[in-house]
Copies of this chain bind each other. A is one copy, B any other.
């Protein structure tokens, strides 16, 4: 049997497949469809300091092989997260990565601090790349701010820190290196691409927020390229995200240089998608006699 164990800096995972933030809620619902403890890790919906109501509906819209969303970081806020959501998530024998977002650098520090004191939090993912809230993209489009926010969070916690980056930039390697310089243990690539759709009968945008973030198979080639490029220049591990629907897709990301991947939109289509990816990955590794996932990571041949 192939070994799927992987490592993201200090964070050890039994396998490299995790859920993507915002596509798994806080686990309560998906637990009806799969055994969460078989995952490599779970990443829960972004938590902010104060509760957020999110954007007005319509919040989502399907596009060709993809979807737009403008949820607007609807969440219960960190206090209720700790009292109401964390106890549930803590019970699974699987690392919990809490995804956090703030409006200011200080917000990230305070959230990191608050969550570090809680049992059952394995790592923090900094969402500095949400396209659906005011100033959501300010950090991840600016290398200086990226480095600062990561460094600030770094100082506030002993937990491993993952910086989640935006693909809506001219050169993502600059941002990834800034995250590394700021002390990130890993980066996750990518958050959604900003897009929109128009109802030609009403002449209105299909989302109340006008624009939204594109996810799903449509973006896979773009996400894969971001991972590949960053893998060439980074000294820290990468988590690949974007359009992963099955094991084949995940394997492309490993070969391009990702040490782990997150399954997002696929979970909407198949609530158990992430587990199917694990199974398919095992079959592939068996077929090609790959003993450890580490042999696969970054094994792309370009000569």
Copies of this chain, count: 2
Contact of A196 among B210, B228, B243, B284 (CB under 8 A): B228
How far apart sit A197 and B218, CA to CA, in the bound complex (Å)? 12
Q: Which 10 A-B pairs have the closest CB atoms?
A: A195-B221, A64-B217, A65-B65, A218-B218, A64-B65, A198-B252, A196-B225, A200-B251, A195-B222, A169-B170
**Which of A85-93, A104-112, A121-129, A294-302 lines the interface with chain B?**
A294-302
* Chain B nearest Cβ from A298, distance in angstroms: 10
* Closest beta carbon of chain B to A290's beta carbon, Å: 11
Give the one of A64, A216, A284, A299 with max B CB within 10 A: A64
A255 CA / B203 CA spacing, docked (Å): 7
Residue of B nearest to A225 (CB): B196
- Min Cβ gap A278→B in Å is 16
| List of B residues within 8 angstroms of A252 by Cβ | 197-198, 200
Q: Please give, as numbers and ranges, the residues of chain B lying within 8 Å of A63 by CB-CB distance.
A: 217, 220-221
Check A224 for interface membership: any CB of B closer than 8 A: yes
Q: How extensive is the interface on chain A, given as a class?
A: 35 or more
Question: A219 vs B301: C-alpha distance in the bound complex, in angstroms?
Answer: 28
Contact between B221 and A196, CB atoms less than 8 A apart: yes
CB <8 Å contact, A214 and B221:
yes
Q: Are B64 and A210 in contact (CB under 8 A)?
A: no
CA distance A275 to B169 in the complex (A): 35
Q: Tell me the complex Cα distance, A194–B200, Å.
A: 29
Besides A200-B248, A200-B252, 6 other A-B contacts (C-beta < 8 A)? A169-B169, A198-B252, A198-B300, A203-B255, A205-B302, A214-B222
In the complex, A218→B68 CA distance in Å? Answer: 12
